Amino acid sequence: MTTNAHPHLSQKDTSPAEGQPEMVSLAVWRTHFTTNATLGALYINGQFFCHTLEPCTRASGSPKIPGKTAIPEGRYRLRLDLVSPRFSNFIRYPWARPWNGKLPFLYNVPGFSGILIHVGNTPFDTAGCLLVGEAKTPECILNSVATFRRLMMRLCRHPLHIPIYISVRNHPKAQRPLVGHEG
């Protein structure tokens, strides 16, 4: 038994049927909230994978404000076949070159065409997207490029024709500060 499994996340049987590719299920479990950042953990098939960082959250049920607040809680489809025009500038973003600018893309987020998962370390590195890293401090994640590379290598093994979903949840006991983005 592994100690990295999260006790509150669904532990669906992800073993593939004989001859079938492995299903992939992602979950973000948010645990720390500040006025500037939301920190959490990304689980793949119920196992801890990395730390996450987003902008601050809003009250449950409030819509996301572009560039200022975190993704609303929910379950979203994740796509790997869309090119990000911004991150296709490989001179400025060389870490995106191995994937030709195709980044994980959450779609069906209310009010948005999609939200990206990408490299970054602080709330100032995201315009509302989900950042990934190996370690964390109160408002920062570290080793984001290496973590993103590991995530992409894991996700790119998954066949494009089989959907991937990501659930985003706030820990019910985590304290959340009041934020100034309510209007």
Instruction: Determine the pLDDT at residue 7.
Output: 47
Alpha carbon dihedral 137, 140, 146, 149, in 10-degree steps, equals 130
Q: How many CA atoms lie within 13 A of 156 on its CB side?
A: 12
Q: pLDDT digits over 91-135, tens only?
A: 999 999 999 999 999 998 887 788 999 999 999 998 889 999 998
pLDDT, one tens digit per residue, over 7-29 is: 444 444 344 445 555 678 999 99
Taking the domains of the chain in order of start, what are their residue ranges? 26-173
Percent of the chain surpassing pLDDT 70: 78
